Each structure stands twice: as C-alpha cells, then as structure tokens.
Amino acid sequence: MERFERFVKNVSKTFEWVGVVGYLIMVLVNVIDVVGSKFFNFPLPGAFEVTSFAQVVAIALTIPIGLYLGFHISIDFILERFPDTPKRLINIFVSVIFVIFFGLILEQTVEYAYSLQISGEIGSVSKIPLFPFAYVIAIGIVPVILFYIIKTITSIKGR
C-alpha cells in the first residue's frame, strides 16, 4: 500500500511540474501580448485562447499535489471533537463519496473530450484543437480518485 501511495504521489509531483509549465506559458503569452500591443501595435493573435488552454493545464494538473499537501478545504475543526470511531466512519464515508463524485466527473470529462475530438472543434483564432485539453482534465482527475481511494483504505485500516 505504501508503494502505491508513493507512486500516486510521484505521479502527482510530475503533473505538478507540467502544471507549472502551463503557468509559465500563461505568463509568457501575456507578456508577449502586452509588449506586442503596447510597443509594436501588434497584439499576439489568439493570446486569450492560448492563455485559457494553458490555464486548463495548470489547474487540472496541480490539483492532485494540492490534495497531498493539504491545500484543500476540510472540516477538521469539527471532526477533532468526535471520538476516534465516528471520526473514522465519517472520513470513510466522505472519501467514498469523493471517489464516486470524481469517478462520475472523470466519466463525463472523457465523454466530452471524445465528443470534441469527433466534432473536430478548434479554437476560433489559434486553430488549436480543444479535445486534448479536455483529456488533460480527465488525466488530472485520475490521481485525485486514487488519492481518495488511498484515504479510504487508510481510514478503514485505522491509520
């Protein structure tokens, strides 16, 4: 179990770096667009679309590591007052609900990405296909589901 958890955490760290590249692309595109429009009277065509696509990559791929680092909303201050057994049962229930919820989101995201792929939809100015970014969202959801599966198992084991 520890090897699997370490594997998921390493995947999340790798995704984090790809997400950071997305953030850097956002910054670079915005700088090029502003400098181009202010100094050369030539804004970067499709800058808004490219920034939006990079934002999808940045956000979708950094959520998993945020879960491992504890940067998510939780109600721990309420649970701290509960005895251990009810606290464990609540954690198990919440983790199972999250696995189901994110599983449904994953399913719908893959269906949406496939529909974008079949339709051949592209950005209006940049002409970049939209479907890869929907698949990126789906890929970013997988470690989230695995995180909550691990959390469920560890709660059941009592750790």
Q: Classify residue 43 by its DSSP letter.
A: P
What distances in angstroms separate CA 32 from CA 44, 52, 69, 126, 129, one per listed residue? 7, 15, 33, 15, 22
Would you kindly state where each structural domain of the chain is located, as residue ranges? 2-157
CA distance linking residue 19 with residue 1, whole number of Å: 27
Task: Give the distance from CA 107 to its chain's centroid.
Answer: 15
pTM above 0.85, yes or no: yes
- pLDDT at res. 85: 84
pLDDT at 122 over 70: yes
How does pLDDT run across 35-93, given as a tens digit for each residue? 999 999 898 898 999 999 999 999 999 999 998 888 776 667 777 788 888 888 888 99
SS3 122: strand
Q: What's the gap between Cα 14 and its chain centre?
A: 12
In this model, does residue 8 exceed pLDDT 70? yes
Q: Is the pLDDT of residue 2 over 90?
A: no
